Amino acid sequence: MAKRKKIRKQLHPLMSYVLLTFVVIVISGFLHVIDAQSTYYTVNNVTMDLNPVTEVITSFFSLSGVKYIFTNTVSNFANFTVLSNLIILLMGISILDKSGFLQTAITLTTKKLKKKTVTFIFVLLCVLSSVFGDLSYLIFLPLGALLFYYGKRNPAIGIIASFAALSLGSGINMIFTSTDSTLLNYTLLATHTVDSAYNISNLGFLLITTVAVLLVSYIITIVTENIIVKKLPKYEFTETELEEDIVTKDEQKGMVLACSSALVYLLILIYSIIPGLPLSGALLDNSQTYYIDKLFSVNSFFSNGFVFIVTMLFIILGLFYGIGVKSIKNHRDFCDNLGHSLDGIGNMLVMIFLASLFISIFNQTNIGNVFVAWIGNIIASSNFTGLPLIVLIFIGVAISTIFVPSSSLKWSILSASIIPVVMESEMTPQFAQIIFRFAETSTMNLTPMLAYFIVYLAFLEKYNQGSQKVKLFESIKYQIPYATIIGITLLILIIIWYIIGLPLGINSFPTLN
């Protein structure tokens, strides 16, 4: 028994994904044999009729499953956007780091601040960054590592804290995001099957989400400093790395040059996303109604080019800083710096390859969709009202998120089941969407089905100094304290809001009366 535990303890993260893939294949075969399936309803946006959709399990424990793996694995990996976006953004971060810009910027902004204050500000920025969608993972995970590294602390603290903030803050932004807009469309469709005149403002969630953002940011900071820091081993710095950072006059001039150049770039960019001005709005999708959708719809130039836009900002900051302090003297220095953060990422690429295979197979089996539809049916047939219904929805959605991280996919399955039940219980549909968002965000950091979880794991491994590899389940264990405390906190917040009847936002309340 002791020997078996030792083997499990030393399981390589790559083998963990191989094992998970094999388990999914076997489970899909079993569920297919017992004919596991589930039916949910979608709303026809023209007739407002409810149309049944039956989800069935696709077995990969078969010849057709083997054929899919062999014929689609390469294309799935090549089309896995996490990979291409990560490589492009790392080139920009390479310039920021290698030129010295990041070290100088971090020294200037954090030198006189307490450690907890730095952590809180960074966590708050991560939570608010969900307005930019999933790409914020690729920006803040590497930056979080470097922030703590240059702050003479274990970079793993920054990686763990930033991943917790990015995932647990993904559904509570005080800013109405593109994802919120998509969910609101599903909410209104389901609502109109009960009340065709009902309408919801995009400001109807503002007050409760603002409170949630501050609460979650504070809790993540406390958990990070009081629990995670104590769990992690001491990070060994060289004597040179431990030397006090002093910003010279040349470095200050380099910062001025870099920030001035970036400001010009940002002003041009901002002008191009303001609608209605002469020659402006060129990067927007003007066919959309909400401004956030004009920015981040699938046809928006801004959305499609966002990775490149951010990378260019990083390159401009790093390049002009390097020119100012003469750390970049010629084009050769510039080209060499571009690949700095890409050194030694072979293991990361293999991780992303296996993760893309695992996620692709899991999605194709349809296990997640069937499970979420089951949850929806349980909620719809529960006959619960009031607080028991709130708790049931919260727990059901939180569990569903482990299997289906995608907010829009989950809500497309659940909304037509949950909204009518909630309205029959005299609660508003926007309150139902709040329950859904708070519930899913409370477990988003625990699921390896999230495409960006592998980036979190890969960066933990990159900065690991021990002889043992960072393990998949160990990386999840770091996230459990965050998920537990924040899940309970958000559920209590929802219950308090419901009992007192506080407004959710502008002209928006938890109950219909």
> Under a CB-based contact definition with an 8 Å cutoff, are residues 336 and 377 in contact?
no
On whether residue 297 sits in a domain, the answer given is: yes
> Under a CB-based contact definition with an 8 Å cutoff, are residues 380 and 418 in contact?
yes
* H or E element at residue 52: strand 50-56
Radius of gyration of the chain (CA): 24
pLDDT at 436: 97
pLDDT at 344: 67
Q: Which domain holds residue 325?
A: 12-235+244-500
Per-residue pLDDT of the chain (513 residues; tens, 9 = 90+): 444 444 445 577 788 889 999 999 999 999 999 999 999 998 888 788 889 999 999 999 888 888 998 998 888 888 888 888 888 898 899 899 889 999 999 988 888 889 999 999 999 999 999 888 888 999 999 999 999 999 889 999 999 999 999 999 998 988 888 889 899 999 999 999 999 889 998 888 999 999 999 999 999 999 999 999 999 888 888 777 667 778 888 889 999 999 999 999 999 998 888 887 777 777 888 888 778 888 888 788 888 888 999 999 999 999 999 999 988 888 888 887 877 767 767 788 888 899 899 999 999 999 999 999 999 999 999 989 999 999 999 999 999 999 999 999 999 999 999 999 999 999 999 999 999 999 999 999 999 999 999 999 989 988 887 766 778 888 999 999 999 999 999 999 999 999 999 999 998 999 997
On whether residue 187 sits in a domain, the answer given is: yes
Q: pTM (2 decimals)?
A: 0.92
Q: How far is CA 308 from CA 84, 139, 285, in A?
A: 11, 12, 18
On whether residue 384 sits in a domain, the answer given is: yes
Q: Which alpha helices (H) appear in 151-290, and where do they start and end?
A: 155-168, 178-192, 206-223, 229-231, 239-242, 249-272
> Under a CB-based contact definition with an 8 Å cutoff, are residues 359 and 451 in contact?
yes
On whether residue 4 sits in a domain, the answer given is: no
State the DSSP code for 444.
G
On whether residue 272 sits in a domain, the answer given is: yes
pLDDT at 9: 52
Q: How far is CA 90 from CA 193, 314, 341, 351, in A?
A: 47, 10, 6, 17
Angle, helices 472-500 vs 429-441, to 10°: value is 150
Number of domains observed in the structure of the chain: 1
Q: How far is CA 484 from CA 123, 220, 234, 275, in A?
A: 18, 11, 25, 43
On whether residue 5 sits in a domain, the answer given is: no
On whether residue 511 sits in a domain, the answer given is: no
On whether residue 92 sits in a domain, the answer given is: yes
Angle, helices 306-325 vs 81-98, to 10°: value is 20
Task: Show the CA angle centred on residue 167, arms to residues 162 and 173, nearest 5°.
Answer: 100
